[in-house]
Amino acid sequence: MSTKKIIVLGGDGFCGWPTSLYLSAQGHEVHIVDNMSRREIDQELNADSLTPIASMDDRLAAWEETGGEKIGFHNIDVAADYHGLRDLIEDIQPDTVIQFAEQRAAPYSMKNETAKVYTVNNNISATHNLLAAIAELRADIHVVHLGTMGVYGYDGDGLQIPEGYLRVYVPGENRDIFQRDILYPTNPGSVYHMTKSMDQLMFQFYAKNDHMRITDLHQGIVWGTQTAETRRDERLINRFDYDGDYGTVLNRFLMQAAVGHPLTVHGTGGQTRAFIHIQDTVQCLALAIANPPAKGEGVKILNQMTETHRVRDLAHLVAEASGAKVEMVDNPRNEAAENDLDVSNKGFIDLGLEPMTLKEGLLTETIEVSQKYAHRCRMEMIPCVSTWTDNQKPGVITQIAAE
Ligand code: NAD
Ligand code: USQ
């Protein structure tokens, strides 16, 4: 394996931190860029990570003390400080830049007008600043971006979702049939998911105009918290979001079980979603970095997920493992009550990914981590209260529906 110089934008976050450690452990030279905005949002919401995350200085010191190579850190707002980002790229001359630095919570992006405007400005500018800087420097740098499965939408009717592109046949005049491979039509379900759809157009343009090498990873919901590297020392522990805006469904169910809170299923729980464990996320990033597209090839899109599950099935699985109660609450989101989801992840399987699944003991590990830090949970932050429109109600518990 050839080692590379890698800049990780958003390297303090839930996916970025363990990815930075994994890549460093693999022998790559890693530089983290982060403006700590996610930690500021913790304060704004008054809902800290369930796990006690150390300061960046303490994290990096702990990494070196446990045998890791030095990781650089640069506090830059990628969305606001174009020149800071460009100068850093010029200085480091990375082979790869990973773009994790976006506001990633759908409920937060729907919270109010301020959060909508922030999410769009931050996410679009961060991604575009990166692309414009690489174009200005005329550098041959592989951009690896974390997109989302949510760009495809959730109105599945049995069609297997391909990896990014859809082959269409368009009838012309004189009975001609024209073939095109187009970006799969986007159908975002929140302002956050909309920004990921817009990112796709920017990638399409820069891959065409500047022959930039770009990989866009359409990732499912990430669950779990620890990886082999973050387990090395408590100061390396990864973030664990559980609150109604940032907590994602499976991790929320696992921590709810651990703190004695009923499992909050939105609506009928018929929503089917794609999932991936954080340990597989870091493996996928390494595989994507090792396999960049050729110059001029167009954007390489890979579906980064390992399994699909219906929300109510997950709730019952966690309830069986833990004895927790399941509660059906109002759905604060404007989303299909029931959907099927069939996704191709052939790209990563062909590259050698050996997926972990829910069955492999990791559910228990996440419950145990949650139990250890249960005293840090603020119960009042658990309900999902950000509503998509005035027609939705917050997801607060009113009655026990199932056990
Ligand atoms: P996170 O919020 O934990 O991490 C994002 C990091 O980026 C934070 O540390 C934040 O401070 C930083 N950041 C945000 N805006 C920035 C800016 N303008 N300049 C510098 N730093 C900035 O999110 P995450 O869960 O690690 O997600 C990372 C990426 O993966 C996101 O783009 C997200 O959309 C995508 N993703 C996440 C999931 C998931 O389940 N967590 C699933 C699919 C895709
Ligand atoms: N849900 C519940 N109960 C809860 C929380 C959520 O039933 O307590 C439901 C939601 O209504 C939704 C589903 O679970 O139907 C998934 O919600 P989520 O918060 O776990 O996931 P989502 O909002 O889609 O966002 C997360 C990440 C985002 C990423 C996305 C991948 O926050 O960054 O892009 O997963 S995907 O869902 O594949 O688009």
> Could you report the per-residue pLDDT of 239-283, keeping only the tens digit for each?
999 999 999 999 999 999 999 999 999 999 999 999 999 999 999
pLDDT for the residue numbered 403 = 42
pLDDT of residue 2: 87
Catalytic residue selected from 127, 148, 195, 306: 148
- Kindly report, residue by residue over 325-371, the tens digit of the pLDDT: 999 999 999 999 999 999 999 999 999 999 988 877 778 889 999 99
Q: In this structure, what DSSP letter does residue 111 have? A: S
Structural domains of the chain sorted by starting position, each given as residue range(s) with its CATH number in brackets: 5-241+277-305+341-358 (3.40.50.720)
Confirm if 395 and 264 have CB atoms less than 8 A apart. yes
Catalytically annotated residue among 196, 246, 264, 281: 196
| pTM for this prediction | 0.97
* pLDDT score of 126 more than 50: yes
Q: Specify the ligand 2 atom closest to the Cα of 250.
A: 20
Q: Is 248 in the pocket of ligand 1 (CB under 6 A)?
A: yes
Extract long-range pairs of 89-93: CB within 8 Å, 24+ residues apart: 89/7, 89/133, 89/134, 89/137, 89/139, 89/141, 90/137, 92/5, 92/7, 92/31, 93/5, 93/139
Confidence of residue 399 (pLDDT cuts 50, 70, 90): low
Identified catalytic residue from 82, 154, 192, 246? 192
pLDDT, tens only, 195-225: 999 999 999 999 999 999 999 999 999 999 9
> Is a pLDDT exceeding 90 seen at residue 155?
no
Q: Give the number of other Cβ atoms within 10 Å of residue 206's Cβ.
A: 22
pLDDT, tens digit, for every residue of 69-104? 999 999 999 999 999 999 999 999 999 999 999 999
- Report the alpha-carbon distance of residue 133 to residue 143 in Å, rounded: 12
Tell me: pLDDT of 402 over 50.
no
Rounded mean pLDDT, 1-8: 93
Mean pLDDT of all residues belonging to the chain? 96
Per residue in 168-177, pLDDT (tens digit) is: 999 999 999 9
- Beta-bridge partner residues of 169: 179
Testing ligand 2's pocket by substitution, the residue of 221, 307, 334 carrying the most ligand atoms inside 8 A of its CB is 221
Question: Rounded to 5 degrees, what angle do the CA atoms 358, 366, 196 make?
Answer: 70
Q: What is the DSSP string of 126-185?
A: HHHHHHHHHHHHT---EEEEEEEGGGG-S-BSSPPB-SSEEEEEEE-GGG-EEEEEEEPP
Q: Per-residue pLDDT for 40 more than 50?
A: yes
